Copies of this chain bind each other. A is one copy, B any other.
């Protein structure tokens, strides 16, 4: 499939998912996961009941919303959830009342600095209700009686998440986590699940997968906490690299959120790939974190998790507003986000630990690996081959060697295969378990 088609396919899926009223629980999220399961049928949907204790947290009541609007003193429906699901504060309790403008204003949220934008506001853990509107609209409201209506339910139900495991030759796992809890916003968050869906298709196409891949679609924070609650011992034992998939759809510069430790395999791969593919990328500090690495990199969890993003959450003007819409992302933007993560996964698949078998340099010419005239100009790939051999000490992985000899790992894989065939190199088994 060509690059353009992959980008368009992701954009189409984002367009389909955009209007669904996602939250950390409820039908919007459940419906989102069902559409993704249509794309990747191996996806398993799980439900965790309200009230269940998960680590330090508790699964909240399930929130569903059916309609929400405000009618002005003139009888006009001036705000309607039908038009934009950001209009309602997430987890709003039901309301059906006539109130004064002053009273209404206590429940209205705007962004004075971005008067055209509807802000995204939630109140998961304190029961309240509210509407979000543009600051421009706020200025137009006249005194009088307003009818406010939110038809929502906050009831015992469940938190829904999706999980998919693609077995490889090894039990060691690469873990991808993305989130499905934000309503109509495109870069943060829909780019995450649509790029992840496309990566699953890519991973399924790999014959002879070396590693096992674990992919989850969860609500942010409470979802990763729920998943850790269920799986922490397994994850600590098997995960060798993890990627938090978010903010992958706009056309702006790439960025990188390190793990807390900063030197895990995920960090090394991410920096290696970004250095060659997007050398202008922004390297954030872990102090700028704000997504599920907060849980996965917690000291008592300590998984090797990074995020490779385009415009990072919190750091672009449209973030958490109605301006983060389908115009902000594009097929090209999504393809870029997909590709950089795909290359990372390929690097991990190819990241063998190599040992040369011969003492001293191998004699290349009898093996047909060397130009026969010892002239001044040597072919560049002979240099790269000899460098690769010179660093293959049985301890360094291919990624370390690539960094030492200043070449991207993907320029080395065919040489590695040649040298493995010639038995000049052997792979040292560093996998902890084989299935």
- Where the two chains meet, the residues of A that have a C-beta atom closer than 8 Å to any C-beta of B are 55-58, 89-90, 109, 111, 119, 121-126, 128, 221, 224-225, 228, 232, 260, 286-287, 289, 294-295, 297-301, 314, 319-320, 356, 358-363, 365-366, 372-376, 386-387, 390-394, 405-406
CB pair A287–B372 under 8 Å, yes or no, is: no
Apart from A56-B359, A287-B387, 10 more pairs, CB < 8 Å? A56-B358, A56-B363, A89-B373, A121-B374, A125-B366, A125-B372, A126-B365, A126-B373, A128-B372, A299-B391
With A109-B375, A124-B374, A125-B372 given, is the CB distance from A360 to B390 under 8 Å? Answer: no
Considering the chains assembled together, what is the distance between the CA atoms of A52 and B183 in angstroms? 76
Q: Is the CB of A365 within 8 A of B125?
A: yes
B359 touches A301 (CB 8 A): yes
**Cβ contact within 8 Å between A361 and B298:** yes
Chain B CB within 10 Å, residue with most, of A55, A289, A373: A373
B406, A359: Cβ atoms under 8 Å?
no
**Which residue of the partner chain B has the closest CB to A124?**
B374
A376 CB to nearest chain B CB (Å): 6
A-B contacts, 10 listed (Cβ < 8 Å): A55-B360, A109-B373, A224-B360, A225-B360, A228-B360, A287-B387, A297-B390, A298-B361, A299-B356, A314-B376
CA distance A249 to B339 in the complex (A): 53
Q: Which of B320, B358, B386 contacts A376 (CB 8 A)?
A: B320
**A291 smallest CB distance to B (angstroms):** 12
B363→A57 contact, CB < 8 A = yes
A89 to B375, CA, bound (A): 10
Q: Which B residues touch A298, using CB under 8 A?
A: 356, 359-361, 390
Report chain B residues within 8 Å CB of A390.
260, 286, 289, 294, 297-299
Complex-state Cα separation, A371 to B299, whole angstroms:
24
Across the interface, A287 reaches (CB within 8 A) one of B109, B111, B406, namely: B406
Nearest to A320 among chain B residues (CB) is: B376
Q: Write out the residue numbers on chain B whose beta carbons fall within 8 Å of the beta carbon of A362.
A: 56
Whether the pair A287, B376 counts as a contact (CB closer than 8 A) is no
Question: Looking at chain A's contact residues, is the secondary structure mostly helix, strand, loop, or mixed?
Answer: loop
With both beta carbons as reference points, the residue of chain B lying nearest to A404 in the complex is identified as B287
Residues in B with CB closer than 8 Å to A374 are: 90, 121-124
Which residue of the partner chain, among B123, B300, B314, B366, contacts A359 with CB atoms under 8 Å? B300
Do A126 and B372 touch across chains, with their CB atoms under 8 A apart?
A: yes
Q: A225-B360, A232-B359, A359-B232 are in contact. Are A119 and B375 (CB under 8 A)?
A: yes
Query: Nearest CB to that of A113 among chain B residues?
Result: B376
State whether A299 touches B393 (Cβ < 8 A).
yes
Cα separation A392 to B376 with both chains bound (whole Å): 49
- Min Cβ gap A56→B in Å is 5
* Chain B residues, CB < 8 A from A299: 356, 390-394
Contact of A361 among B294, B356, B386 (CB under 8 A): B294
Interface centre among A89, A287, A362 (most CB of B within 10 A): A287
Whole-angstrom distance from the CB of A223 to the nearest CB of chain B?
Answer: 11
Shortest A62–chain B CB gap in Å is: 18
Contacts of A405 in B (CB 8 A): 287
Considering the chains assembled together, what is the distance between the CA atoms of A128 and B374 in angstroms?
A: 13
- Rounded to whole Å, the gap between the CB of A301 and the closest CB of chain B is 6
In Å, the complex CA distance between A320 and B358 comes to 29
Interfacial chain B residues near A126, Cβ < 8 Å = 365, 372-373
- By beta carbon, the residue of chain B nearest A222 is B363
**Whole-angstrom distance between the Cβ of A400 and the nearest chain B Cβ:** 13
Q: Report the bound CA distance from A40 to B373 in whole Å.
A: 35
